[in-house]
Amino acid sequence: MKKISFCFLALLVCAAQAAAQKVPVQEMVLDNGMKVLMVPRKGDPNIAVGWVARVGSVNERPGITGLSHLFEHMMFKGTHAIGTKDINANLQLIKEMDQTRAAIRAEEQTLIRRARLGEIPGSKDPQVRTARHRELIAKFDELTKREKETLVKDEFDRIYTTAGASGMNAGTGNDFTVYFINVPANKLELWFWMESDRLLKPVFREFYSERDVVHEERRLRTDSTPTGKFDEQFESMFWQSSPYGWPVVGWPSDLEGITREEALDYFAVNYAPNNLTACLVGDFEPARATELARKYFGRLPRGPRDPEPVRTQEMPQQAEKRMVAYAETSPQVRVRYHTVADGHRDEFALGILSDILNGRTGRLYKSLVLEKGLANAASAGQDGRKYEGYFELQGTAKPGHTPEEVEQALYKEIEKLQKETVGEQELQKVKNQNAAGDFRRLQSNFALMVQLLLRDSNRGWETINTDPARVQAVTAADLQRVANTYFKPENRTAGIYYTKKIAATEEDPLLAGLDEEEKSQIRQMRGMLGQAKIEQVKAVLTQVTQQGASAPAEKQDFIKVLKKLLEDRLAQLEGRKK
């Protein structure tokens, strides 16, 4: 008799539990169109709460790319009641700042036109500004200083923290913008009031300086990372017509030009209650939550019109695309195929395929890393977004091997999926792992709240109960069919990354004296810090300082550089808060 491992039995148990368990969501829709989802769970004194706006970078247009992400920042700036010492003075200053910025934009457009005609070397050189332009900039700087005097910095965050709430944050994706926090059960009404107030009477304070903050975030996340600029170029090359082709953080010229008027118009349509869903998971009484939702969220006026769905669809790709880049990274390859959107009947089979290829027990690791010794790492993944989707393969070459060798080995694994039927045991193992993962993701109140919000921003929260069955229904024939349907040479885009040879004059002075692995770690940390909040930077700096003294002598140079990086970023954030 064939032995069954304990791990396999555990997977079967979790799979059975996941199949039997349905998330008991209570849904209500307010008169203004806002949806509220409730999952009461006894025990934990904290409630995971949040809301999602069905808007992301895909809903933008050229000229305002990055606006959805900018809103993620602006929604923490306060309201008529929060964040200011004098709301009337604050609003008057904002009006004057907008008028001054409009005049500055007119001057900037003149310089852009002159640069386009070759009359001046560039539009950003301060030397080419007119006297009027310089006067306007000086006036705007003075207004900015006066605005700061009317502000109560970070009051929105402080009110929550004082009340015992934790984990306040937000995130912007291609298809959504989500806001979340954990609040004590006895502070639930505070959350309803705070969130409805910033939706009802937001004040976009420090709008123009916050554009610069996002611009700096883009520089840290994209421009200053080893492959950031190339990954961005790869993305825009892959998408020919779809608005997924521009980055969530936005193009630099758009970040410099977005106006508050454009932001207000965008807010009125996309942050109206008929485009929002809120969710509560934890120990609360649904009747009380319903009463609070009607009292606070119910006062939000419905939007002037329903948001328009994305109109521009991706054009079918007719020929293979290739990109070759030289970056400060290990030699590697990424191959991407156009596939299907989230919820398409083929997406579930594509997801299973990625699981078959992925992980330490997956086909890519076994073949490329262990058997052939071509790669240090290899992975695969299906990304079904709201309107489009793709399947991507990646591999990092081992020393002595090339990205092209890794690329061809990836194609060999794809060919096996196209020609050979996946065995029943291998398929069932992946299905069991999926079911066990679904079960684990339901245990955390916070994780469940976020899942429900993100699902409802797309196909509906109900899919958390219906999608698992669709995964379990995938057959070996489905896997072979989708592999042959989508994994075609003319449907793929390949990116080859070679290691850039850095001249001594190009070396970042901060990295002098470090070995290649340490340099790579510092570059990665620099990119991560672009998204970090001040509390996170402080915590990491404290940890590095405490552990640095006991680090080996050969690691002291690395610790010194890491501390300098953290201290510089902290100084930037603290300077912004003043």
Tens of pLDDT, residue by residue over 277-321, are 999 999 999 999 999 999 999 999 999 889 999 999 999 999 999
Q: Burial code of 216-253, b = ≥16 C-beta within 10 A, e = fewer? A: ebbbbbbebbbbbebbbebbeebbeebbbbbbbbbbee
Q: Taking 50 as the threshold, does the pLDDT of residue 6 lie above it?
A: no
Give CA separation, 53 vs 266, 360, 451, 453, 497, in Å.
12, 37, 14, 9, 37
Q: For residues 511 and 523, give the distance between their C-alpha atoms in angstroms, rounded to a whole number.
A: 9
The per-residue pLDDT for 569 is 79
The average pLDDT across 437-456 equals 95
- Tell me if 147 sits within 8 A of 206, measured CB to CB: yes
The average pLDDT across 343-353 equals 98
Cα atoms in the Cβ-side hemisphere of radius 13 Å centred on 546: 6
Beta bridge mates, 380: 393
The per-residue pLDDT for 1 is 35
The per-residue pLDDT for 506 is 54
- Tell me if 150 sits within 8 A of 89, measured CB to CB: yes
Q: For residues 515 and 238, give the distance between their C-alpha atoms in angstroms, rounded to a whole number.
A: 34
Look at the block and give the residue holding tokens 């990109």.
Answer: 323
The average pLDDT across 63-90 equals 95
Q: Taking 80 as the threshold, does the pLDDT of residue 138 lie above it?
A: yes
- pLDDT: which is higher, 531 or 110: 110
The average pLDDT across 532-557 equals 77
Q: Taking 80 as the threshold, does the pLDDT of residue 246 lie above it?
A: yes
- Tell me if 462 sits within 8 A of 389, measured CB to CB: no
Give CA separation, 446 vs 8, 264, 574, in Å.
28, 31, 30
Q: Taking 50 as the threshold, does the pLDDT of residue 10 lie above it?
A: no
Structure tokens at 415: 């060919």
Alpha-carbon radius of gyration of the chain: 26
Of the pLDDT bands very low, low, confident and very high (cuts 50, 70, 90), residue 531 is: low
Nearest alpha-carbon partner for 129 in 144, 145, 143, 114: 114
Nearest alpha-carbon partner for 52 in 270, 265, 206: 270
Q: For residues 352 and 185, give the distance between their C-alpha atoms in angstroms, rounded to a whole number.
A: 39
Farthest-apart Cα atoms in the chain, separation: 90
At position 385, the amino acid (one-letter code) is R
**pLDDT tens column, 451-481:** 999 999 999 999 999 999 999 999 999 999 9
- pLDDT: which is higher, 504 or 264: 264
Q: For residues 449 and 469, give the distance between their C-alpha atoms in angstroms, rounded to a whole number.
A: 21
Q: For residues 567 and 545, give the distance between their C-alpha atoms in angstroms, rounded to a whole number.
A: 11
Q: For residues 293 and 398, give the distance between their C-alpha atoms in angstroms, rounded to a whole number.
A: 56
The per-residue pLDDT for 503 is 52
Give 499: exposed, middle or buried? Use CB within 10 Å, 0-12, 13-18, 19+: middle
Sign, CA dihedral 380-532-218-340, equals positive
Q: Looking at 13-17, 159-163, 218-222, 496-500, which range is the least confident one?
A: 13-17
Q: For residues 555 and 350, give the distance between their C-alpha atoms in angstroms, rounded to a whole number.
A: 44
- pLDDT: which is higher, 383 or 9: 383
Look at the block and give the residue holding tokens 């991507």.
Answer: 392
Q: Taking 90 as the threshold, does the pLDDT of residue 530 lie above it?
A: no
Beta bridge mates, 170: 179
The per-residue pLDDT for 542 is 81
Q: Taking 80 as the threshold, does the pLDDT of residue 92 lie above it?
A: yes
Q: What is the DSSP letter of 48?
A: E
Q: For residues 334 and 88, give the distance between their C-alpha atoms in angstroms, rounded to a whole number.
A: 54
The per-residue pLDDT for 575 is 61
- Tell me if 294 sits within 8 A of 366, measured CB to CB: no
The per-residue pLDDT for 529 is 72
Angle, in degrees to the nearest 10, between helices 131-150 and 87-116: 150
Q: Taking 80 as the threshold, does the pLDDT of residue 450 lie above it?
A: yes
∠ CA 227-229-234, rounded to 5°:
90
Structure tokens at 350: 């594509």
The average pLDDT across 349-377 equals 96
Q: Taking 60 as the threshold, does the pLDDT of residue 242 lie above it?
A: yes
For residue 425, report the phi and psi dihedrals to the nearest 5 degrees: -65, -40
Q: For residues 239 and 245, give the distance between their C-alpha atoms in angstroms, rounded to a whole number.
A: 5
**pLDDT tens column, 13-72:** 444 444 457 999 999 999 999 999 999 999 888 999 999 999 999 999 999 999 999 999
Listed in sequence order, the residues at least 6 apart from 155 whose beta carbon sits closer than 8 Å to its beta carbon are 78, 82, 83
Going by their DSSP bridges, the two strands 375-384 and 276-282 should be labelled as: unpaired
The per-residue pLDDT for 207 is 94
Q: Looking at 5-9, 235-239, 493-497, which range is the least confident one?
A: 5-9
Q: Looking at 25-29, 43-47, 230-234, 532-536, which range is the least confident one?
A: 532-536
Nearest alpha-carbon partner for 374 in 417, 411, 413, 404: 404
**pLDDT tens column, 485-525:** 999 999 999 999 999 875 545 556 777 777 766 776 777 67
Q: Taking 90 as the threshold, does the pLDDT of residue 399 lie above it?
A: yes
Q: For residues 272 and 206, give the distance between their C-alpha atoms in angstroms, rounded to a whole number.
A: 22
Listed in sequence order, the residues at least 6 apart from 302 whose beta carbon sits closer than 8 Å to its beta carbon are 32, 33, 272, 273, 274
Nearest alpha-carbon partner for 7 in 305, 324, 249, 361: 361
**% of the chain surpassing 70 pLDDT:** 93
Nearest alpha-carbon partner for 562 in 524, 516, 507: 524
The per-residue pLDDT for 16 is 46
Most confident of 254-263, 333-342, 527-536: 333-342
Look at the chain and count its residues: 578
